Amino acid sequence: MWFYILKRVAQALPLLLAVVVVNFVLIQLAPGDPVTLLVGDFPAPEEYVKQVRAEYGLDRPVAERLVLYLGQLARGNLGYSFANRMSVAELIGKRIGPTLQLMFTALVIAIVIGVTLGVVAARGRGKLADWIAQIGALVGYSVPDFWLGQVLIILFAVTLALLPSQGMRSARSVATGLDAFLETLPYLILPATALSVRFIALFSRITRSAMLEVLNADFVLAARAKGLSEGRVLLAHVLRNASLPIVTVIGYNLGLLIAGSALIETVFSWPGVGRLMFDSITKRDYPVMTGILLFVSLTVVIANLLTDLAYAALDPRVRYTR
Amino acid sequence: MANLRTGIAFSLIALCVVAAVFAPFLAPFDPFRGGADALLPPGSKSFILGSDHLGRDVLSELIFGARVSLAVGISAALSASVLGLVVGSLAGFFGGWVDGVLMRTSEFFQTLPRFVLALVIVAFFGSGIFKLIIVLAVLSWPPIARLVRAQILSLREATFVEAARLSGMGSLRIIAREILPNALAPVIVTGSLDIASAILLEASLSFFGLGDANLISWGGMLNVAQPYLRQAWWMAVFPGIAISLVVLSFNVLGDALNDALNPRLQETA
């Protein structure tokens, strides 16, 4: 196992380096003065512009510039946002909490509903329930999630006036700790629902096909023959063995989840990284954009690595075959 | 049941194509010209689907928006398929280090968060419709390349390829004449599913304000609608329905093609 972990980590490192290089190349290739991309399209003080030129060696050859860029990143310097008067790393750090909260809630909703739907569809294969679940999955996979958010706002916040639709708590709120969390819950319902729909569709499809693959396996027949109740057969034997592809799909789709939350946060003014991305685009605050791209790519690479490791931990065969 | 589904999907796509091609003749108003009748609800003053905040007719905007969605979706998916075919064939045919480099590259593109990367690229380089198509194509080819490569690797050992080789055919001719035609089915399926995801991605980018500013797109309409959700639901509801139906139709079409072209897979899906 240790050898496998080391091997996978070693494979992930070039990927990380490649991500950084792509970011660097983008900054170099973009039209206009690269210093604008490092400072942002924002009236920055002349000394700071000079400092950035020196720090990143913008008057030196490309190879030297790449080394300087890597050096800045290694020191944790993702740049500085003049539009926000704050370092990009600090800015992302402040916004990551709400994003994680939104993503985690949506993921839990999607796993519970998606896996349940998948199990129901696989059990009643070819029947009405299966047909409805499959059409539902197809629709859920085709509807743009940010538009679904807008429709939820129109229905539940405007027409029915049941739930709040903007931000994560009242502007006047002074609550902290648990109180703040409880106050956030009603604000969380609509965006988390909108974000989860695509993943409900994805998980129900994967669960259905994974279930179908093991539903007729010999060990399931044996469990049934042993006289186990249908519920126990499904939970302990079928779903357990079908869980591998489900875990993989969750892990590999983290990038999709982040993209979805960027759009959803914009619709619901949720103060997370996605909203920050939107604001940085409207303000042409380039360092924040590249900083977020780097941060998100890093997260995705690490999530994929963890998924592979989880897969190897759950299924020992993987460690030896690859 | 499946035939009915495919029929509906196909009709919707046909409807969308007709709207896109004949937009200037079908649209009741000029979608670019506003007027004093702003934010009117559907049905009032011959605005069938209402008017937006500048007094433009929502229906006419929708009809013109079909052009952008279809053009971007189809061109991006087509370019991605061609790119994927070329890269996949090269990797599968040459093997060795060429294969290694190309497959690592495709893995890299598959790992990167597509939407965020597209956002940054378009924000840096500007957002004309051609740039959008190129960006979407460059970010979408890897699955097709991997598919083609896998097909080539398995078909290379097939008896009819062996026969072609024995009859003295050159390698390139074998790829072009014998292998690729047999590997094309899954590419067509993936390509039509790619149209759906390219349309969604274009709508997302336009919603972020990064669409082509000179054209009307459904995603752009949703961007404009966001501040008016309280006053004018029709500004958001109709473009979203249009996007959902078209994306759904291309997804259904992809599934139908999959069933038709891979009869062996029918039961496992």
Structure confidence by residue, pLDDT tens digits, A166-209: 877 776 666 677 777 777 888 899 999 999 999 999 999 888 88
Distance (Å, rounded) from C-alpha B112 to C-alpha A294? Answer: 10
Element (H, E) at A81: strand A80-81
Q: Would you state the structure tokens that stand for residue A26, as one six-digit string?
A: 């983008």
Contacts of A198 in chain B (CB under 8 A): none
User: Which residue on chain B is closest to A136 by alpha carbon?
Assistant: B248
The pLDDT, as a whole number, for residue A149 is: 93
What band does B266 get if pLDDT is binned at 50, 70 and 90?
Answer: very low
- Percent of chain A scored above 70 by pLDDT? 93
For the domain bounded by A97-321, which CATH number is listed? 1.10.3720.10
Closest to A26 (Cβ–Cβ): which among B113, B124, B236?
B124
The pLDDT, as a whole number, for residue B268 is: 43
**Long-range pairs of B262-266 with CB within 8 A, sequence gap ≥ 24:** B262/B185, B262/B186, B262/B189
Distance of CA B73 to the CA centre of its chain: 3
Instruction: Tell me: pLDDT of A322 over 50.
Output: no
Is the separation of the CB atoms in A259 and A146 below 8 Å? no
**Chains A, B: CB contacts under 8 A, how many?**
138
CA distance A22 to chain B (A): 10
Distance (Å, rounded) from C-alpha B13 to C-alpha B245? Answer: 9
Contacts of A19 in chain B (CB under 8 A): 112
Structure confidence by residue, pLDDT tens digits, A233-251: 887 778 777 777 777 887 7
Distance (Å, rounded) from C-alpha A50 to C-alpha B83? Answer: 42
User: Angle at which helices A286-314 and A240-252 pack, to 10 degrees?
Assistant: 160
Distance (Å, rounded) from C-alpha A44 to C-alpha A59? Answer: 19
CA distance B174 to chain A (A): 32
Distance (Å, rounded) from C-alpha B5 to C-alpha A152? Answer: 27
Instruction: Tell me: pLDDT of A95 over 80.
Output: yes
B11-38 burial, b if ≥16 CB within 10 A, otherwise e? ebbeebeebbeebeeebebebeebeebe
Contacts of A213 in chain B (CB under 8 A): 268
Residue B233 falls inside a structural domain: yes
Is the separation of the CB atoms in A117 and A200 below 8 Å? yes
Closest to B236 (Cβ–Cβ): which among A19, A37, A150?
A150
Closest CA to B50 of B230, B237, B207, B240: B237
How far CA B15 is from CA of A162, A184, B1, B28, in Å, comes to 38, 44, 21, 17
Mean pLDDT of A291-301: 86
Instruction: Tell me: pLDDT of B269 over 50.
Output: no
Closest CA to A258 of A296, A308, A303, A305: A296
Q: In A, residues 117-156, which contact B (CB 8 Å cutoff)? A: 131, 138-139, 141-144, 146-148, 150-151, 153-154
Determine whether the interchain pair B111/A301 forms a contact, defined as Cβ–Cβ distance below 8 Å. Answer: yes
User: Which residue on chain B is closest to A302 by alpha carbon?
Assistant: B111
**DSSP three-state, residue A41:** coil
CA distance B241 to chain A (A): 8
> End-to-end alpha-carbon separation of chain B, Å?
16
Q: Would you state the structure tokens that stand for residue B258, as one six-digit string?
A: 């999959």
Tell me how crowded residue B266 is: count the other CB atoms within 10 A of its CB.
10
Instruction: Tell me: pLDDT of B178 over 70.
Output: yes
Closest to B208 (Cβ–Cβ): which among A138, A142, A281?
A281
Distance (Å, rounded) from C-alpha A273 to C-alpha A120? Answer: 36
User: Which residue on chain B is closest to A286 by alpha carbon?
Assistant: B124
Q: Which residues contact B219 (CB under 8 A, 6 or more apart)?
A: A144, B202, B203, B204, B205, B206, B207, B211, B239, B243
User: Which residue on chain A is closest to B195 by alpha carbon?
Assistant: A142
Q: Is A103 on the interface with B (CB under 8 A)?
A: no
Mean pLDDT of A270-289: 86
Higher pLDDT, A170 or A259: A259
Instruction: Tell me: pLDDT of B116 over 90.
Output: no
Instruction: Tell me: pLDDT of A102 over 80.
Output: yes
Determine whether the interchain pair B1/A131 forms a contact, defined as Cβ–Cβ distance below 8 Å. Answer: yes
Structure confidence by residue, pLDDT tens digits, A147-173: 999 999 999 988 888 888 787 777 666
Distance (Å, rounded) from C-alpha A255 to C-alpha A252? Answer: 7
* Total number of domains constituting chain B: 1
Determine whether the interchain pair A26/B208 forms a contact, defined as Cβ–Cβ distance below 8 Å. Answer: no
The pLDDT, as a whole number, for residue B194 is: 92
Q: Is A318 on the interface with B (CB under 8 A)?
A: no
pTM beyond 0.90, yes or no = no
**Chain mean pLDDT for chain A:** 83
CA distance A179 to chain B (A): 29
CA distance A227 to chain B (A): 28
Distance (Å, rounded) from C-alpha B30 to C-alpha B51? Answer: 12
**Chain mean pLDDT for chain B:** 86
Residue B26 falls inside a structural domain: no
Is the separation of the CB atoms in B211 and B124 below 8 Å? no
Distance (Å, rounded) from C-alpha A242 to C-alpha A118? Answer: 11
Closest CA to B258 of B268, B267, B266, B250: B266
Triad A67, A72, A78: Cα angle to 5°: 130
CATH number of the CATH domain containing B88: 1.10.3720.10
Closest CA to B222 of A266, A261, A275: A266
Q: Which domain holds residue B169?
A: 2-20+58-261
Residue B45 falls inside a structural domain: no
The pLDDT, as a whole number, for residue A34 is: 66
Q: Where in chain A is the domain with CATH 1.10.3720.10?
A: 97-321
User: Which residue on chain A is closest to B223 by alpha carbon?
Assistant: A267
Structure confidence by residue, pLDDT tens digits, B216-250: 999 999 999 999 988 889 999 999 999 999 999 99
**Structure-token match 């689907």, residue found:** B49
The pLDDT, as a whole number, for residue B83 is: 93
Q: Is A31 on the interface with B (CB under 8 A)?
A: yes
Structure confidence by residue, pLDDT tens digits, B19-32: 889 888 887 878 88
Best of B1, B62, B119, B237 to disrupt the A interface (most A CBs within 10 Å) is B119
β-pair partners for B44: B47
User: Which residue on chain A is closest to B248 by alpha carbon?
Assistant: A142
Q: What residue spans of chain B are helical by DSSP H?
A: 2-21, 23-26, 58-94, 96-111, 114-125, 129-140, 142-155, 159-166, 171-173, 180-207, 218-225, 233-261
Determine whether the interchain pair B113/A304 forms a contact, defined as Cβ–Cβ distance below 8 Å. Answer: no
Question: In the 8-state DSSP scheme, what is residue A132?
Answer: H
- Percent of chain A scored above 90 by pLDDT? 17
A254-268 burial, b if ≥16 CB within 10 A, otherwise e? bbbbbbbbbbbbbbb
Best of B4, B13, B109, B120 to disrupt the A interface (most A CBs within 10 Å) is B120
Contacts of B225 in chain A (CB under 8 A): 150
Closest to A158 (Cβ–Cβ): which among B204, B210, B229?
B229
Element (H, E) at A8: helix A2-29
Q: Please list the helix, strand and coil fractions of chain A in percent, rounded to the nearest 5, in that order.
A: 80, 0, 20
Closest to B116 (Cβ–Cβ): which among A31, A286, A296?
A296
Closest CA to A281 of B168, B124, B250: B124
Residue B132 falls inside a structural domain: yes
